[in-house]
Amino acid sequence: MNPVNNKRIAIVGGGPGGLTLARLLLPGGAAVKVYERDVSRSVRVQGATLDLHDESGLAALRKAGLMAAFEQHYRPGADHMRVVDKHGVIRFDEMAGPTEGVYFRPEIDRGPLRNLLLDSLQEDTVVWNSHFQDMQAEGKGWRLHFKNGTSAYADIVIGADGANSRLRPYLTDIVAFYSGYTAIEGAVYDSAKNVPVLHTLLHGGKIFALGDDKTLVLSSKGDGSLVFYTGFKAPENWVKENGLDLNDKAQMKAWFQEAFAGWDALWLPLFEQSAGSFIARPLYCMPLDQHWQSQPNLTLLGDAAHLMPPYAGEGVNMAMLDALELSACLLDPAFHTAHEAIAAYERQMLTRASATAQMTLEQTDALHREGNLQYMLDMFDPEKQ
């Protein structure tokens, strides 16, 4: 018998990692609930498209029996990537990659990925409008309290609640450090109509524009919109101290023209046609040597466990691989207790995350220094590998 049979498991956070874990735990005889702060599944899911990797995100979907559903919802050709200079001149044009094998990295929007995971669960598995507030020990488990005034008991709690995890402090007092870089996120709806030149350049895939010591990343979405991220060096408190109104498109356009001086006017329609407010994102990373004393009834996955900058594209894949490895440990009858299973998972997770974070920090630095364009071009030059 596995160590979580007949246990009540609470997963806090209904992102890809939390939902994948819920799906993978289904055969184990545990009563699993996912507590999600969104009021319903119809809430608009923001963010860029996600490329899933064979050894992580896709491996988790295969184990969950969801590859057929995934193949109905991913976006063939969305892995087409162009590297351009700050004037929009194409310097590298990578056509869509292989459609199978270890180098197959299909793209899927966050919304469809979330929906196919939700559809794989029983309807009452996700408890919506459950924004975690706090919890305290109760018996051998935890009593969780939510901002809507409800509470729930669980024998085991798993924090899958992202970068600003409220669960993490119950496990460790280790906090993330600032990477030295900040990103500004924006979105444009109906890009074919509102930014036709950039829509054509994007060609249904991704653009990495690099120059000076800055980046601008554009990503198409299946609903006809695009999202974009400017990346640049900045002090940690820049977001609070810069005085910018993130709801003022004219002000944000003026900021871009000053901060990205010398960049072509080609990019200005992103700010002129942006939808809603911009989002400022200081980029943080967990210490590479982090570790903590494993607990018998609490653990973390995804950004809650190992936050890192997004430039290596590992975030969702790491979270789904966490779910795969954690479920395998919790359902393994070789472990006599959940404590043993959690400890085994955390050992391999923290080791793996440390190596990935190191690589991500090195790549983030390289993409935000002089010569960043040539650095990225060299990444795709077989003679320089």
In order, the DSSP letters of 184-225 are EEEEESSHHHHSHHHHHHHTTSEEEEEETTEEEEEEE-TTS-
Nearest residue to 315 via CA among 302, 326, 328? 302
Alpha-carbon distance 260 to 185, whole Å?
A: 15
Rounded to 5 degrees, φ, ψ at 290 are -65, 145
* pLDDT value, residue 102: 45
Contact indicator for 261, 211 with CB cutoff of 8 Å:
no
Which segments are annotated as binding site for FAD?
51, 110, 303
pLDDT of amino acid 77: 84
Amino acid at 110: R
Are the CB atoms for 301 and 159 separated by under 8 Å? yes
Q: Which residues are annotated as a binding site?
A: 44, 51, 110, 303
Q: Tokens for 159?
A: 């924090």
Residue type, 107: E
- In this prediction, residue 308 carries a pLDDT of 95
pLDDT for residue 312? 73
Torsion of CA 132, 136, 138, 143, to 10 degrees: -10
Q: Are 25 and 60 in contact (CB under 8 A)?
A: no
Are the beta carbons of 305 and 285 closer than 8 angstroms? no
Q: What is the pLDDT of residue 104?
A: 61
List binding-site positions for NADPH: 44
Q: Kindly give the parts of the chain with pLDDT less than 50.
A: 98, 102
**Burial per residue of 265-293, b for 16 or more beta-carbon CB atoms within 10 angstroms, e otherwise:** ebbebbbebbeeebbbbbbbbbebebeee
